[in-house]
Structure 1
Amino acid sequence: MLNGRQTVIIRELMKADSPVTSDYLAKVLDVTSRTVRNDIKELEANVKDIGASIKSIRGTGYQLFIHDEQLFRHFLQDIVGHDQDHSGKIPTLPEERVHYIVKRLLLTEYIKLDDLAEELYISRSTLQNDFKEAKEIFKRYGIKVEKRSNFGLRLIGSEFKLRLCIADYAFADIESEFDMILKDNPVFAGVDLNGIKSIILTHIGNHQIVLSDIGLTNLIIHIAISYNRIKSEKYVTLYNNELADLKTTEQYEVAKEIVHDLEIELHIRFPEQEIAYITIHLLGTKMITALHLNDQEVQSFIEEQIYDVAKVVLETIDQELHLNIKDDQELFLSICLHLKPAIHRTQYGINLPNPLLEEIKTNYPAAFQASVIAGMVLKKLLDIEINENEMGYLALHLGAAIENRKNMDQPKKCMIVCASGVGSARLLATKIEAKFGSRIEIVGTTEFYKINQIPLNNLDFLISTIPIPMQLPVPVIHVKTILGGGDFEKIEQYLGIEVNQKGNYIREELVFLRQHLETREDVLHFVVKQLKKLGLVNDLFLKSVLEREELSPTSYGNFVAIPHPLTPQTDSTFWAICTLQKPIDWGGKRVQFICLLSVEKNSSGDLQKMYDLLINIIDNGQVVQQLLKCKTYQEFASVFQKNNEMVN
């Protein structure tokens, strides 16, 4: 059986389309290149037995070749099974070790540091570093680590917060009920998960409460935690006024019915405070409602506060990002229905796992940025801070509306003003139609002297071959009679089409290579200082970037981060790129390639397309590694040109 590092190496080699360097693997594993080379020597001997081979390609790295598909598939199934039951799996990466430490402390009364170091096969000094990270996690929940002589370490904190932390960290990799059955977890010992599920489904069905599969799994987990904690005589306590408020909700009655059946099923008594605990989780779900309602009907059943907040959320998003979605009635209703349970979850610190979060952040950055702005509005109006998972769920609604808006966009209506006669005007119209197809509807042509006779209010813009000195109520795009040069680009820019970005975003004065910086803050201060020297940003820019990072780290995997201001701050759109000599921690991920992105205020460009352009490069780990090796702008630009044809 392969060790943890070797399994990671195999996975990285499988993911790559081209040879992978030992430097890259060393960064992924947080070990030295020498350790990687030793691991690969062992692997080269072992993989022969699983129908594969690893070849060292001089100057480029290592590549995996599969010779026997069936044998190799069996090997992969063994890895999956090994991961699922966690038997004997030793955490290898620093973040895995931190997760392991957190989980062990949560599920153990006392544990000694020396025992943890022995379990993880690491030195005490390495453990001390990992333990600092673990303590920071506990701090976020208001939980302290207490040391007791001869006993070891244990956690001190409110039972409610301890249970939330157990749900978030002891079950972070559980997405379905099926996963629960596979995991060897003491919290599930002696619990009939199917029995709990059946009871929940019966009562939420009777009361028309909607639960997603993830929501159902989350509720089962919390009830399983409650059962085990109550058995150990560890109970949740709530203030009397909190309990009184919860008792007035419909969800409290549902919780009472669920608890009645649970007590029979599990042979255990749930105190009143524990009924309130389940009520809190049910408040994080939503009641069934009809989707096809007009504005008046929506107002009649949605609380006035939620209605008003949803309005401000969509208006602010449109004001900042110009997505034209604030009048989307279906989106508005979806946001209203989503907000109430999301607010309840946030107020009580309940974290609903979001298995799609990383994919949403990477593939729909415009929608995720819109959800970040939504979070900013909720902070301002309700004084609550939604977490990344909640932002991800909001981004799904917003992303659907953005895509619908794209599909619904009508062609822009224009008229051609041409001084050279009908023949020239027709040629111009034909070339424009051939280039832009359904995106432009040419409603006719005219001479300049007749322009006052045209109802301009029915048009989006004019295309004119002659300068028009007068002020008109619609934009005028001045082009040559025989289209050429930058004429097409003028039209494309008006349509919001991002064309030929190579000169716009990659600029030598905004590329800073192989910098020696040690923290996220160091990087952001350094880059913003350079931007201020160039007169591109003001004193408020850095503050906005840091506020955005506080809401949700902008690290995206592959050693890449794309920081940006909370809302557009600058008069132009640009990228400032900084590479580092060594990876640094950036919101729990290692980062070495930073692209600080700024979108111009009141931009009519397509934000999603600009993100796609950048992600096309940074989504490829091998390309990122090539860029990290570049020592000059010319080398850097050459890699971009080769991989995305972005640089002249």
Structure 2
Amino acid sequence: MLNTRMTVIIRELMKADTPLTSEYLAKVLDVTSRTVRNDIKELEEIVSKFGASIKSIRGTGYQLHVQEDHLFRQLLQEVTEQNHQDGDLPTLPEDRVQYVLKRFLLMDGYIKLDDLADELFISKSTLQNDLKDVKEILSRYRITISKRPNFGLKLEGTEFMLRLCMADHIFNDMENELGLGGHIIPNFSKHDLTIIRKIILEEIKVNHIALSDIGLNNLVIHIAIAYNRIKNEKYITFFNQELEELHNQKQYKVAEEIVKQLEREFEVKFPEAEIAYITIHLLGTKMVTDLHFDEKDIHELIDHQIYDLVQEILETIDKELNLNIKDDQELIVAMCLHLKPAIHRFHYDINLSNPLLEDIKANYPVAFQAAIIAGIVLKRKLEIDINENEIGYLALHLGAAIENQRIGFRPKKCIIVCASGVGSARLLASKLQSKFGTRLEIIGTTEFYKLNQITMHAVDFLISTIPVQMELPIPVIHVNTILGAGDLEKIEQVLLEETGQKLKYIREELVFLQKSFETREEVLDFLGKQLQSFGLVKDQYLEKVYEREALSPTSYGNFVAIPHPITPQTNSTFWTICTLKKPIDWGGKRVQFVCLLNVERNSTNDLQCMYDSLMEIIDSSQVVQQLLKCKTFKEFQAIFMKS
């Protein structure tokens, strides 16, 4: 049957809309192209028995074709079952790291390095390499690996941190109807988890506490882990002062009721510290769901410190990104209600998983950048370093406000170039205005010969009744003097998506191809120096780029990274592009295409449109692979224009 590499190849082929090259698949798997070609030969034979085929298209790559869907599903089912029986032993480095981490967290005693290496069918030196990453993850929870001669390795850390680490790394892939995926807690049945869930739901209903599905799953998991650890006589400890503070919270009473029912159901005694532990998790949830309040209600409901903090966050975001969202009352309430429990989560190191994180980063980059700025304000005001998951949740609130703002978006601005005189130009303008209404603002008409005297800064595109051969920084739509249906369609297309938008952000002198850098730092330092040499950025520029990376790596998958300064630093919007001969590690993802993004300071232009133009290109694995092969700017530009 399929080995792990073949399973990954099938997964990649199923995801792709276009053919994938053996070079691309080799990079994903971290093996040679020859290994991939051999795997595909075997794979072709296997899938042919299950109603599918893998076509090799010369010069383009491999593509999966499924002729008989029900047969192919049978293959996928068998692969899933086989992985389950094999214990799904990992082959990719990142999967091995997670496996080793889980292994440490779920064992009570020591484990020997040799035994672990044998278990994974890898060399001891490969395992030691993986352990560096395991230690790095554990260090975030202040957990270390201690070594005892003749016994082996064991985790050392507080019970609180060990449980948090378990919650984050053992039970964070939630998929089934319980939201607890295939990873059931050891010695714990689905039935038991259902009971815990039912007890929580009853109590939060009685006490009017609002829990998201993710928050509910989080609490079920934490209580299940607590129950398991208590049975093994592993208890949480708190200082008396901490216990007293938690005892005075409204959530403590709710935690007490939950514990009473748990003790009755499972016949196990929860010490007071464990009630405090559940209180902490309840403090990390919203207490109110209704967002429709007037200003008086808001001030009564939300504590003034949080309200003032949100005001400052939104003012800072507006100042940096010009999104015009600081007076959005619904956003203010949503942010206040979100931040109070988020601050509690921070104080107790609780990490609320965010399954939408990668999608938010990829699809709502402006909102994510706004959330990063919110994080900066939180750090400045409260000395809080919020994590990526929390930034993602803030981005959801901010994204909704940005979308609302865009519903009343500014119209696209155009100039009409008309050779037949003022009368024809006015007729053309009237027809356009009646057809497109407030979506289009005609800011003037001009003759062709005056074009080079006009500043294009505030113009989105030109509409011209004569062909314009000269190069311009904005799109030109050639139409007939008497507009036909085809002409209106062309304009509609531009109103929907600014055609040619991508090219205005690229400069030949800022595109660097086929470089041999080996680290993220080498790439960024090189690009920063180039921008400085052109006088485009100031001395502290790179510091701002690294500050942004520290909050959340800007690698987006598909071998692409889009680094940028934490706040806009330049007087114009442009892209600096660097492709690499070999992929490098960038925040846990492999990267070979880097687009250092710079956004104009105090710009009122639509940032989302610019990001959309970029995402259109880098979302396609085929386009990215073509761009990586380019050796000259002309080749690069041609692929960019076609995509």
Alignment-derived partner of residue 575 in structure 1: 575
Relative to structure 1, the CA distance from residue 500 to residue 62 in structure 2 (aligned partners, 3 Å threshold; closer, same or farther) is closer
Q: Which amino acid in the other structure matches residue 120 of structure 2?
A: L
SS for the counterpart of 1:209 is: coil
SS for the counterpart of 2:509 is: helix
Query: Distance in 2 between the 1:291 and 1:181 partners?
Result: 32
Alignment-derived partner of residue 618 in structure 2: 618
Matches within 5 A, 1:537-556: 537-556=537-556
Alignment-derived partner of residue 586 in structure 2: 586
Q: Which amino acid in the other structure matches residue 529 of structure 1?
A: K
Offset, 1:76: 2.1
Alignment-derived partner of residue 100 in structure 2: 101
After TM superposition, the structure 1 stretch with the greater mean CA deviation from structure 2, 431-440 or 229-238, is: 431-440
Contact residue 366 and residue 608 of structure 2 kept, 8 A: yes
Alignment-derived partner of residue 389 in structure 2: 389
Alignment-derived partner of residue 335 in structure 1: 335
CA-based RMSD = 3.0
Deviations 1:202-257 (A, max 9, x none): 11111100111111111010011101111111111112221111111000111011
Contact residue 177 and residue 217 of structure 1 kept, 8 A: no
Contact residue 513 and residue 579 of structure 1 kept, 8 A: yes
Contact residue 86 and residue 184 of structure 1 kept, 8 A: no
Q: Which amino acid in the other structure matches residue 88 of structure 2?
A: K
Relative to structure 1, the CA distance from residue 412 to residue 117 in structure 2 (aligned partners, 3 Å threshold; closer, same or farther) is closer
Contact residue 175 and residue 217 of structure 1 kept, 8 A: no
Query: Distance in 2 between the 1:350 and 1:176 partners?
Result: 23
Contact residue 515 and residue 581 of structure 1 kept, 8 A: yes
Pair 1:271 & 2:301 matched: no
Contact residue 20 and residue 621 of structure 2 kept, 8 A: no
Matches within 5 A, 1:58-97: 58-80=58-80, 85=84, 87-97=86-96
Offset, 1:37: 2.2
Q: Which amino acid in the other structure matches residue 104 of structure 1?
A: R
Matches within 5 A, 1:407-418: 407-409=407-409
Contact residue 111 and residue 154 of structure 1 kept, 8 A: yes
Offset, 1:14: 1.7
Offset, 1:179: 4.8
Alignment-derived partner of residue 145 in structure 1: 145
Offset, 1:500: 3.1
Offset, 1:522: 1.2
Relative to structure 1, the CA distance from residue 134 to residue 182 in structure 2 (aligned partners, 3 Å threshold; closer, same or farther) is closer
After TM superposition, the structure 1 stretch with the greater mean CA deviation from structure 2, 251-260 or 58-67, is: 58-67
Q: Which amino acid in the other structure matches residue 95 of structure 2?
A: E
Alignment-derived partner of residue 122 in structure 1: 122
SS for the counterpart of 2:582 is: strand
SS for the counterpart of 1:287 is: coil
Offset, 1:198: 1.3
Deviations 1:491-520 (A, max 9, x none): 99xx99956334421221111111111111
Query: Distance in 1 between the 2:127 and 2:384 partners?
Result: 35
Contact residue 510 and residue 575 of structure 2 kept, 8 A: yes
Query: Distance in 2 between the 1:187 and 1:328 partners?
Result: 49
Deviations 1:343-402 (A, max 9, x none): 111221111111111111111111111111111111111111111111111111111111
Query: Distance in 1 between the 2:63 and 2:178 partners?
Result: 35
Query: Distance in 2 between the 1:635 and 1:210 partners?
Result: 55
Q: Normalising by the residue count of structure 1, what TM-score does the alignment of the two structures yield?
A: 0.88
Offset, 1:407: 1.2
Query: Distance in 2 between the 1:58 and 1:325 partners?
Result: 51
Alignment-derived partner of residue 170 in structure 1: 170
Matches within 5 A, 1:155-554: 155-175=155-175, 178-180=178-180, 182-186=182-186, 188=188, 192-409=192-409, 423=423, 426-427=426-427, 429-430=429-430, 433=433, 437-440=437-440, 463=444, 500-554=500-554
Offset, 1:625: 1.0
Relative to structure 1, the CA distance from residue 143 to residue 238 in structure 2 (aligned partners, 3 Å threshold; closer, same or farther) is same
Alignment-derived partner of residue 488 in structure 2: none
Contact residue 463 and residue 476 of structure 2 kept, 8 A: no
SS for the counterpart of 1:577 is: strand
Offset, 1:145: 0.4
Contact residue 465 and residue 480 of structure 1 kept, 8 A: no
Contact residue 513 and residue 580 of structure 1 kept, 8 A: yes
Q: Which amino acid in the other structure matches residue 373 of structure 1?
A: I
Pair 1:21 & 2:25 matched: no
Query: Distance in 1 between the 2:458 and 2:444 partners?
Result: 6
Q: Which amino acid in the other structure matches residue 556 of structure 1?
A: Y
Query: Distance in 2 between the 1:43 and 1:176 partners?
Result: 30
Offset, 1:552: 0.7
Number of aligned residue pairs: 611
Contact residue 532 and residue 538 of structure 2 kept, 8 A: yes
After TM superposition, the structure 1 stretch with the greater mean CA deviation from structure 2, 553-562 or 29-38, is: 29-38
Contact residue 111 and residue 153 of structure 1 kept, 8 A: yes
Relative to structure 1, the CA distance from residue 150 to residue 174 in structure 2 (aligned partners, 3 Å threshold; closer, same or farther) is farther
Q: Normalising by the residue count of structure 2, what TM-score does the alignment of the two structures yield?
A: 0.89
Query: Distance in 2 between the 1:99 and 1:588 partners?
Result: 12
Query: Distance in 1 between the 2:573 and 2:414 partners?
Result: 27
Q: Percentage identity across aligned positions?
A: 63
Q: Which amino acid in the other structure matches residue 583 of structure 1?
A: P
Q: Which amino acid in the other structure matches residue 615 of structure 2?
A: I
Contact residue 18 and residue 622 of structure 2 kept, 8 A: yes
SS for the counterpart of 2:49 is: helix
Query: Distance in 2 between the 1:509 and 1:621 partners?
Result: 25
Contact residue 414 and residue 463 of structure 2 kept, 8 A: no
Q: Which amino acid in the other structure matches residue 91 of structure 1?
A: P
Q: Which amino acid in the other structure matches residue 229 of structure 2?
A: R
Relative to structure 1, the CA distance from residue 413 to residue 569 in structure 2 (aligned partners, 3 Å threshold; closer, same or farther) is closer
Deviations 1:308-350 (A, max 9, x none): 1111111111111111111111111111111111111122111
Relative to structure 1, the CA distance from residue 633 to residue 363 in structure 2 (aligned partners, 3 Å threshold; closer, same or farther) is same
SS for the counterpart of 2:290 is: coil
Relative to structure 1, the CA distance from residue 48 to residue 570 in structure 2 (aligned partners, 3 Å threshold; closer, same or farther) is same
Contact residue 176 and residue 182 of structure 2 kept, 8 A: no
